[in-house]
A and B are shown apart, each in its own frame.
Chain A
Amino acid sequence: MSRFIWLIRREIWEHKAIWVAPAIVLACLVLAFMTGNVHLGPIGTIDAATPFGALPLEKQTQLLLLVYGGLALVVFLVMGIVGFFYSLDSLYADRRDRSVLFWKSLPLSDAETVLSKFAVAVVVIPLVATVGALLAQLMVAGGGAAMLEFAGVSGRIMWQPEALLGGMAVAVLWCITAVMWYSPVVAYLMLASAWAPKGPFLWAVLPPAAIGVFERVVLGSEYAGNFITDRLFGLYRLLSPDRQVSPDAESATIRLSDIDLAASLREFYTSADLWLGVVAAGLILAAAIWVRRYRDETN
């Protein structure tokens, strides 16, 4: 087991983006506060006479929940990009520079190697993302409170437990759900990475794109296209349009239909799509291990 931890450490040594990317996001937040240039989404600018203070507490809480959720989303998007390129590179980089021959000279099985890289993509990166999201939320809570106090308003609202803890819970739940939803995509990218003779990006992206186009042009149907789009973007059902917010700051009549996270999570966790995806992830990962194991490392 400790060997496995060392393999994961190796990945973190090699791929600095795993912790540099969220650090940059957080640094940007700090910078934004220091320059006073903060727009908290639907709340509007905080320094001016804000309609925010005039809202009932319940609305304020809901708005803050949106702010905190939105922050988490930004961090997750960044980490999603990190995860995408990490997975795509994971089993290709060492083949490109031939160091795969060194790794294969160690008494490590290919399953161990591939699983350690998969673990980085579905455990380490999401963990860093969650910690980053929580830190970002705390920073905005602290910074926002300070700015409100500075403007002569009580900043206590920023620490409102329903908003802050709610926002944190949303972040954690989103992250877990996203990891499960995207696990087959991660496995697929790793398979492409293990298999691609060159340029894994094209080898990963072109085949599904080609299948989609082929189906539309030749067969006139869009099953494959829809299947792929749904896997890539289906997660946004978590932020369903019918639960969208349309803020109207001017009239201070912000209409908020309830953000029913519980319902959308329920929908996700009872859907066959999610669980079939997890099973598919396992199968694709097994294929990636097989390719890594038996790919001829000639040249």
Chain B
Amino acid sequence: MTDLIVAQGLSKRYGATLALDDASFRVGAGRIVGLIGPNGAGKTTALKAVLGLTRFSGELSVLGLDPYRRRHQLMQDVCFIADVAVLPRWIRVRQLIDLVAATHPKFRRDVCEQFLARSDVKRDRRVRELSKGMVTQLHLALVMAIDAKLLVLDEPTLGLDILMRKQFYETLLNEYFDEQRTILVTTHQVEEVEHILTDLLFIDRGRIVLDAAMDEVQENYAQVAVRPEQVAAAKAHKPLAERQGLGRTHMLFRGVDRSELERLGDVGVPSVADLFVAVIQGARA
């Protein structure tokens, strides 16, 4: 597996705050990586570094290039959607498509038109006249028509309703993603992406606190609904987190033998959100 992104000791300081603190990670080709962290954890800074939009210290290579120095070359193979607000508001849909077609060598107009045909986006409308959902559909249509190697999404569904959010990720997964492509996504709505992710990167206070493939996570972590009489025995296994449910105590374990856990209660796969909370709390403790 080749690595599209290799970050080694990435740091970035804004005044007194350290937005990235010696962060190292790799993103392999053909993966869908969720970069997940609380507000101000350094997610956006990390993405900006990857996209060549910000200066940083440490080593970073994206598709073999230094993104900060070679941004415009990199953009031939990298697409990004920062969030729904960044399409220029004055431009008409037709003009926007013409412009991307004229400036991006890997843009396929027919693919873009095909995606747009399914939406209500009218070609002679200005972006400012479109609803938030339509702007996202337009942006997604543009991006999906570009034959890029890496797609970076920074809170792409911010401000959209549930239907739109679901549709966004479905389209992305079913019609865009394949082994040739890699997606790096940050979002607050973890539960919406957890089914499509292949890898997790948890970031907190500028540090990478978890870097694991989804199947590793499922192997190593387990969520157990512990029966009341087993709580004391369960605590002996040092759960990462616990919370009270209906008559059961839910505990999160790492690296505990599965047969052992099954004696304590019903074993399940932890949700990314639960895992996230546990890992972040553990990292801060």
A58 on the B face (CB < 8 A)? no
A109 on the B face (CB < 8 A)? yes
- 8 Å CB interface, A49-107 against B: 94, 97-99, 101-107
Evaluate contact between B102 and A6: CB separation under 8 angstroms. Answer: yes
The one of B45, B71, B78, B85 that contacts A98, using a Cβ cutoff of 8 Å: B85
Interface residues on A, range: 20 to 34
The one of A102, A108, A294, A296 that contacts B86, using a Cβ cutoff of 8 Å: A102
Q: What secondary structure prevails in chain B residues at the interface with A?
A: mixed
Residues A14 and B53 in contact in the complex (CB < 8 Å), given A3-B102, A98-B82, A105-B80: no
Interface residues on B, range: 35 or more
B54 on the A face (CB < 8 A)? yes
* Set of chain A residues within 8 Å of B95, measured between Cβ atoms: 10, 13
* Set of chain A residues within 8 Å of B80, measured between Cβ atoms: 101, 105
CA A297 to CA B49, docked complex, whole Å:
11
* Set of chain B residues within 8 Å of A104, measured between Cβ atoms: 51, 53, 71, 75
Evaluate contact between B72 and A109: CB separation under 8 angstroms. Answer: yes
CA A255 to CA B108, docked complex, whole Å:
68
A110 on the B face (CB < 8 A)? yes
B174 on the A face (CB < 8 A)? no
Evaluate contact between B87 and A106: CB separation under 8 angstroms. Answer: no
Residues A108 and B53 in contact in the complex (CB < 8 Å), given A3-B103, A98-B86: no
Contact with B along A1-31 (1 / 0, CB 8 A): 0110011011001100000000000000000
Q: Which of B45, B102, B103 has the most CB of A within 10 A?
A: B103
Evaluate contact between B100 and A106: CB separation under 8 angstroms. Answer: yes
CA A94 to CA B89, docked complex, whole Å:
10
Contact with A along B73-85 (1 / 0, CB 8 A): 1111011111001
* Set of chain B residues within 8 Å of A107, measured between Cβ atoms: 72-76, 103-105
- 8 Å CB interface, A245-299 against B: 294, 296-298
Residues A105 and B103 in contact in the complex (CB < 8 Å), given A99-B86, A296-B55: no
CA A7 to CA B100, docked complex, whole Å:
10
- Least CB distance from B265 to A in Å reads 46
Evaluate contact between B99 and A10: CB separation under 8 angstroms. Answer: yes
CA A137 to CA B76, docked complex, whole Å:
48
Evaluate contact between A102 and B75: CB separation under 8 angstroms. Answer: no
* Set of chain B residues within 8 Å of A110, measured between Cβ atoms: 72
Evaluate contact between A14 and B88: CB separation under 8 angstroms. Answer: yes
A97 to B, closest residue via Cβ:
B89
- Least CB distance from B244 to A in Å reads 40
B91 on the A face (CB < 8 A)? yes
A107-B103, A297-B54 known; 16 new pairs, CB 8 Å cut-off, are: A10-B95, A10-B99, A13-B91, A13-B95, A94-B88, A97-B85, A98-B85, A99-B86, A99-B89, A101-B80, A102-B88, A105-B75, A105-B78, A107-B73, A108-B72, A296-B54
| Interface pairs (30), CB distance under 8 Å | A6-B99, A7-B103, A9-B99, A10-B95, A10-B99, A13-B90, A94-B88, A97-B88, A97-B89, A98-B85, A98-B86, A99-B86, A99-B87, A99-B88, A102-B87, A102-B88, A103-B88, A104-B71, A105-B81, A106-B75, A107-B74, A107-B75, A107-B76, A107-B105, A110-B72, A296-B53, A296-B55, A297-B54, A298-B14, A298-B44
